[in-house]
Amino acid sequence: MQGGFIINFCRLKSNFFMLVWASLLAFSVQAENKSLIVASIKPLAMLQADLGLGWQEPIVPDGITPHDFSLRASHIKRINAAQLVIWLGPEIEPYLAKIMARKAAYQQIILPPYTHAEDAQNQHHKESKGDDEHQHYGKHQHKHHHGADLHPWTSPVYMQRAMAQVAEAINTLLPQYAHTVKANEQRQQQQLAAQMQQWQDYFASHKVSYLVYHDALQPYETAMGLGTSNMGSFADAAGSQFGLKNLRQLQLAIVQQKVACVLVDNEANLALIKKIAGQQLPQVTLDLLAWQLRPGTNNLHRYFAQLGQAVQQCQ
């Protein structure tokens, strides 16, 4: 009897430990899964979450623009620990070039550079015929970083393509998530396509005109057929302030009442805007990097709704 009791007790004890062990294991797998995949910037982290791959803080945190970012020890640790890093490649994200060169090819998804020509082909609405006569103040001094746009994520076309690319890569790299990702992708793609159509229709029938602090909105404008709405910028795509001559042209556009508002993006030099545009011109926040967006469901949908609503205010 006594022996039986001991055996039973031992069995009970071992069952208990098995249970604890199993739950610890489950927890660690879950915790590990969550740190498996890391995206470089918040819009890509949102894409990752929308595909059902879990929310993870991006490498570039809220409050720092990719133009000003540099890697710290904590970032390097995270990148080294990650099983998969989603990023935009060395041209757009030079701060990751060195560390990512050391990471295996199967541990990274590099989203291809964005070209305006490609996006324009996908665009449903043609730009108005008056486009030739239209003046973009300050726009001729674009510094295109080797031809690739520095803000590809502002294009819903680009992000839909990126979503498909990530889903496809997951098939090969992390097949255990392929099923989840496929289901989420279909739903998200439909939602984003419908949303883009709505905004294209809206902007086709509502005239907006604005200045945007730094020249970061072109991919969005191309997708939305907003080419003639952008009346110029205070700084180029890399965030470098334009010279006085260009800034005077902005003032001229304001005086001639060609501009409805200034889109104040994450880079904006508020003192410069005040100096050039004065107090009268309305300022609208443009959250290009989604700093204000709390991660949840349908992140990209909410991001593009927010961009659309900002531009919408400049009528």
Residue 194 — φ and ψ, nearest 5°? Answer: -65, -40
| Min dist. Cβ of residue 303 to Zn ion (A) | 15
Q: Which stretch binds Zn ion (CB under 5 A): 101-109, 122-130, 208-216, 277-285?
A: 208-216
Q: Which stretch binds Zn ion (CB under 5 A): 23-31, 71-79, 101-109, 213-221?
A: 213-221
Of 31 and 64, nearer to Zn ion (C-beta) is: 64
| Min dist. Cβ of residue 297 to Zn ion (A) | 27
Q: Does 60 bind Zn ion (CB under 5 A)?
A: no
- The span from the CA of 32 to the CA of 174, in Å, is 13
Q: Does 216 bind Zn ion (CB under 5 A)?
A: yes
| Min dist. Cβ of residue 15 to Zn ion (A) | 58
Of 69 and 203, nearer to Zn ion (C-beta) is: 69
What sign for the dihedral angle of Cα 78, 80, 86, 92?
positive
Q: Total residues contacting Zn ion (rule CB under 5 A)?
A: 1
| Min dist. Cβ of residue 138 to Zn ion (A) | 15
Q: Does 49 bind Zn ion (CB under 5 A)?
A: no
| Min dist. Cβ of residue 155 to Zn ion (A) | 14
Q: Does 41 bind Zn ion (CB under 5 A)?
A: no
Of 216 and 224, nearer to Zn ion (C-beta) is: 216
DSSP, res 113: P
- The span from the CA of 40 to the CA of 260, in Å, is 34
| Min dist. Cβ of residue 95 to Zn ion (A) | 14
- The span from the CA of 286 to the CA of 306, in Å, is 8
Rg (alpha carbons) of the chain, rounded to whole number: 24
Q: Does 92 bind Zn ion (CB under 5 A)?
A: no
The tokens for 308 are 């659309």
Of 51 and 216, nearer to Zn ion (C-beta) is: 216
The tokens for 170 are 């997951």
| Min dist. Cβ of residue 222 to Zn ion (A) | 16
Q: Which stretch binds Zn ion (CB under 5 A): 5-13, 49-57, 174-182, 211-219?
A: 211-219
Q: Which stretch binds Zn ion (CB under 5 A): 181-189, 214-222, 240-248, 302-310?
A: 214-222
Which H or E run contains 9? helix 2-36
The tokens for 65 are 């623009």
Q: Does 289 bind Zn ion (CB under 5 A)?
A: no
Angle value at C-alpha 154, between 43 and 257, nearest 5 degrees:
140
Q: Which stretch binds Zn ion (CB under 5 A): 32-40, 53-61, 215-223, 270-278?
A: 215-223
The tokens for 162 are 């990126």
Residue whose C-alpha is closest to residue 86's, from 111, 106, 63: 111
The tokens for 169 are 């890569």
Are the C-beta atoms of residues 185 and 164 closer than 8 Å to each other?
yes
- The span from the CA of 205 to the CA of 220, in Å, is 17
- Footprint of Zn ion (CB under 5 A): 216
